[in-house]
Amino acid sequence: MDQRKVLLTIASLFMVGSAIFSTPEAQAEPVQAPGKIVQNGRASWYGPGFHGRKTASGETFDTNDLTAAHRTLPFGTRVRVVNKRTGKSVVVRINDRGPYAHGRVIDLSKASAQAIGISGVGSVTVVQL
């Protein structure tokens, strides 16, 4: 690789890193964070019938919080969920078990889904932080 390509690569990584760490978590952003990719698959959102009920972790579910349900990740794990269609991402905390619908890898709270532009089911990448 020539020196110009190396410098462009370094500059690109710096710009991506700056965008990741200077943007508030609740704001959706079109940047993927470095981390361990846990899964690629379909995401849905849940909430209307669960708002105010206890989650598997024991806390009360609030559809307005940036949380999610995952089958195996430990409670409290923070993951970045990236909408593959829009490129937007959101950081959520795992506080429940699921999804139970076939073919889904994560269930997002309504606020989390809205932040990345998912109104039903969407294709996502889940990155453990």
How far is the C-alpha of 49 from the C-alpha of 31, rounded, in Å? 32
pTM of the model as a whole:
0.71
Smallest CA-to-CA distance from 39 within 86, 84, 88 is with 84
Domains and CATH numbers, the chain: 26-128 (2.40.40.10)
Amino acid at 50: F
How far is the C-alpha of 70 from the C-alpha of 77, rounded, in Å? 10
pLDDT of 118 strictly over 70: yes
Q: Over the stretch 21-75, which tens digit does the pLDDT of each residue have?
A: 333 344 433 344 467 887 999 999 987 789 989 999 999 999 999 999 999 999 9
Q: Over the stretch 91-107, which tens digit does the pLDDT of each residue have?
A: 999 999 999 888 899 99
| Those residues with Cβ within 8 angstroms of residue 121's Cβ, 6 or more apart along the chain or in another chain | 42, 43, 44, 104
